[in-house]
Amino acid sequence: MRTATVVRPAPPILDLDARLALVDAAMSVRLTEAAVAFEVNTAHLPGADPIPHIAETPLPAPAAAPSPYRTPLAGLLHRARLRIETDGWCRDAAFDESGAVCPIRAIRLEARGDRDLAHDACVALLDAIQQQFATAETIPSWNRQQTSAGPVLAAFDRAASRAHTQETR
């Protein structure tokens, strides 16, 4: 007598996007069923309003976070950090077509024409970089070696904190 073994294939592993799409489809069906049930349950009521339409209003743009620093140099470094965080970080150029910027461009944009303050901020940033990466010669060469914006933002944090403590003494 022969025996047959049934081998069931493993269920497919779905990535996050596929799972979200399935949940979205299931929720759409449930919401449609709920809307129909609401209409059926309230059809006999005189003057019953249909499901009210809630207009979608866009979320307000987040307000610019006030600088935690009172000194001009630390404030500039903080604003430049926020610019990279919001506009994006550019690694191999001063800026790109999407609006991302490199650290020096972020400083220059936030300095708003004050060349001396921008120069001081670049010096402070390079000092903060060299404090952790002693072999870094320039901001652009160090920036090109980074693989994400994380170390760049951390360098801005260190530079702003250091500038704040030095200026408030």
Q: What is the domain partition of the chain in residue ranges?
A: 16-43, 72-167
Q: Report the pLDDT averaged over residues 94-106.
A: 89
In this prediction, residue 80 has a pLDDT band, given cuts at 50, 70 and 90, of very high
Q: Which residues contact 132 (CB under 8 A, 6 or more apart)?
A: 155, 158
Look at residue 50 in the predicted model and tell me its pLDDT.
Answer: 60
In this prediction, residue 1 has a pLDDT band, given cuts at 50, 70 and 90, of low
| Residue pLDDT, tens place only, 108-137 | 999 988 899 999 999 999 999 999 888 889
Helix H segments across the chain? 16-42, 72-87, 103-111, 115-132, 139-145, 150-167
Distance between CA atoms of residues 56 and 46, nearest Å: 29
For the cut 70, the answer to whether the pLDDT of residue 60 exceeds it is no
Q: Report the pLDDT averaged over residues 32-47.
A: 80
Determine how many CB atoms are found less than 10 A away from the CB of residue 48: 11
